[in-house]
Structure 1
């Protein structure tokens, strides 16, 4: 599932193009920096997901409060 989502996100790139991009990234950043970059990206994605969950929960609680107020009247 994850691999297909990644390739769907990349679009029409083939296997050769993806391998070439990965090679360039490896050459630019080096083998030691890539795990640090991936960890930072993971933290950023996790924080973004947490923030969207918080916003969603606030909207849902506000909707429930409005529903309760409208049913009381």
Structure 2
């Protein structure tokens, strides 16, 4: 089972990967354009951590049946 901090870290790492692709001049223009397109509305680190804080603050009223989706931190603390 993926924990919220693991999911948050994976989304942040995916954003970094897309940024890397979007700037890599050795890749085709289409690949770089597609990466930039995907990043247009991709959540920032701030967005993810804010979502985690909101979800963590409503533990008494779990969101859905699974509880928090994201975490306000990426380590296991």
Q: Same fold (TM over 0.5)?
A: no
Q: Taking structure 2 as the reference length, what is the TM-score of the superposition?
A: 0.30
Q: Which has the higher helix share?
A: 1
Q: Taking structure 1 as the reference length, what is the TM-score of the superposition?
A: 0.31
Q: Which has the larger radius of gyration?
A: 1
